[in-house]
Amino acid sequence: MHGDGTKLDITLNKPPARVIDITRLIRRAGRVLTGVDRVEMAYVRALIAEDCPVFALARTPFGYVLLDQSGLIEMEQRFSGKTPFSRPDLLSVMQRKLSVIERSAQSDLRRLSMARCLPNRLISMLKQHVPNGTSYVNVGHSNLTSRVLQSVKTALGGPIAVMIHDVIPLDFPQFQRAGTVDVFREKLRRTQAFADVVIYNSADTQVRSEGHMRAWGAVPRGIVAHLATDLPQPNPEFVCPHAPYFVCIGTIEPRKNHAFLLDIWQELGVDAPHLHICGGRGWNNKNVFDRLDALPADTKIIEHNNMNDADMAALLNGSNGLLFPSFAEGFGLPPIEAACLNVPIVCNPLEVLRETLGDIPVYAGVSDSYLWINTIKELAQASPEARGSGTYKSTTWGDHFKVALRMF
């Protein structure tokens, strides 16, 4: 987990250095990390541990900031909570729309920087401080601008690697926030134009991504490197609810299909088990939010908007099953986390879940509420304590990086 904290020493042709883009982590400071955030953190930790110099680049409202390896180590300590963020500086205080922690993260980024520049000086800054031939990697879907990619290519001349987590905005635009589909399409087109290698989290994501890029021209070299799970040990002090209960994990947004589970629980009626919905409230989902807000005080549906990882792992571990009716996923971490804990899984039969989990879950199409109801009733009769240990072995970060780091 977390890059395993050891030197991987596995690259075929080590570059003189690597630059990792941490713009996403800076923007997400202080929040519960989502799947893409965790991947960026794993890359930070792995590159720090590698026997190859590493720099970090981030975009802020005032320009670009460059960290050397010691600065990146200090920022990783803050992201992981081992070191507290400092007080915001004057520039950050001016950013009134940011949270206090976001302001502090930007302040610490500047304090720890080896160089800073205005946007039009990015090439000059990189040439001055980073060795020629250095590779650049962006795994966060952030800062994939023409300015950055062209500057990196011009200043460094090394390979550019970009990770694509999904192309859901293009495949399922009906689930997206207004204005995001065109923005994502342009990111993918820039990835096609500038990337020397594209890292995909699944073969399903590769097929979907390359299908779009092929319509625009030549497709960059692609590799599939499954993600690891960062599921912590369940909190031993967490008091699980009385069984039977089920868990649904994921941001409450239309794509995750929480409305389907609310319908199921309505049909189950007074005999329904408890349902714990774990995830922050997202977007374009007023109807679901209204239904959650209208639940009675004695409801069997409980919402957890900011549960920490160890408590969530304990809640999942003690449950009768994970319910995952999502319409679309790039990878789908919650079912993999459930499989690691040998927790039963009921999910929509998505191709990516078949790729990563095989025949472990109960696959139930979301057009078949009868199958979902019967499966939930059956699982509710089973005791979580009687499950025993499972045989599923998830990909480790070591496995992931043995594939990914060979390419840049």
Determine contact, residues 32/101, Cβ cutoff 8 Å: no
Answer yes or no: CATH 3.40.50.300 is held by domain 245-386.
no
Determine contact, residues 389/339, Cβ cutoff 8 Å: no
Q: Which residues of 332-363 are buried (b: 16+ CB within 10 A; e: fewer)?
A: bbbbbbbbbbebbbbbbebebbebbbeebbbb
The candidate with the shortest Cα–Cα distance to 330, out of 209, 233, 179, 159, is 209
Q: Which two tokens stand for residue 61?
A: 């409202």
CA dist 267 and 263 (Å) reads 6
> pTM higher than 0.85, yes or no?
yes
**What is the per-residue pLDDT for 89?**
82
In 231-376, at which residue ranges do the beta strands (DSSP E only) sit?
Answer: 245-249, 274-278, 301-304, 322-324, 345-347, 362-363
Q: How many residues can be counted in the chain?
A: 408
Strand 274-278 to 197-200 pairing: unpaired
The candidate with the shortest Cα–Cα distance to 31, out of 128, 120, 99, is 99
- The residues, any chain, with a CB within 8 Å of residue 294's CB and separated by 6 or more, are none
Helix axes 180-194, 146-156, angle to 10 degrees: 10
The single-letter code of the amino acid at 265 is W
DSSP for 72-118 reads HHHHHHHHTTSS------HHHHT-TTS-HHHHHHHHHHHHT-SEEE-
Determine contact, residues 8/401, Cβ cutoff 8 Å: yes
**What is the per-residue pLDDT for 302?**
96
Residues of the chain within CATH 3.40.50.2000 domain(s) are 2-229+397-404, 245-386
- How do residues 103-113 score in pLDDT, each as one tens digit? 899 999 999 99
- Over the chain (408 residues), what is each successive 10-residue block's mean pLDDT? 38 82 93 87 96 96 96 96 89 78 92 97 98 97 96 97 97 92 97 97 98 96 94 89 94 96 95 95 94 92 92 95 97 94 97 96 97 97 80 91 92
- CA torsion angle 66 67 69 73 (round to 10): -140
**What is the per-residue pLDDT for 94?**
75
**What is the per-residue pLDDT for 11?**
45
**What is the per-residue pLDDT for 2?**
35
**CATH assignment of 2-229+397-404, among 3.40.1000.10, 3.40.50.2000, 3.20.20.10, 3.40.50.2300:** 3.40.50.2000
The candidate with the shortest Cα–Cα distance to 202, out of 175, 227, 180, 170, is 227
